[in-house]
Structure 1
């Protein structure tokens, strides 16, 4: 496992651990109660983080060997 894969722990902690510390109604985020806004933010952050991990692996050539194995010569 590469160190960049540790970024995937951010959304997990954001969804599972943060509500214990951030459980409040005010302030509002875009008109939503704070926790609903927080979960919406984590949804977007998860997508961005997973895209960064994917493109980082792709740039390092980790997926090149998988594609080469699937091809028959």
Structure 2
């Protein structure tokens, strides 16, 4: 797979998780770590989005995109 395509897919994943899937996870049950599922989902993406951004940054830096 082309690295630029992989980076684009990584870039799109947080948008899908936070915006597209949001109506499907808008529920109270199950309760995870004391949070309703909807809130757990949002907190999960608050953690995952910077990690995905870090992966994209490292890949771009390795390709010489950032100096």
TM-score (norm 1): 0.78
Q: Which structure is higher in strand share?
A: 2
Higher Cα radius of gyration: 1
Equivalenced residue count is 63
Return 5+ residue gaps in structure 1 as ranges: 65-73
Q: Where do 4+ consecutive residues of structure 1 move more than 4 Å? A: none
Output the aligned Cα RMSD.
1.1
CA deviation after TM superposition for structure 1 residue 19, in Å: 1.7
Residue in structure 1 matched with residue 14 of structure 2 by the alignment: 11
Counterpart-to-counterpart distance in 2, 1:60 and 1:48: 19
Q: Runs of 5+ in structure 2 lacking a partner? A: none
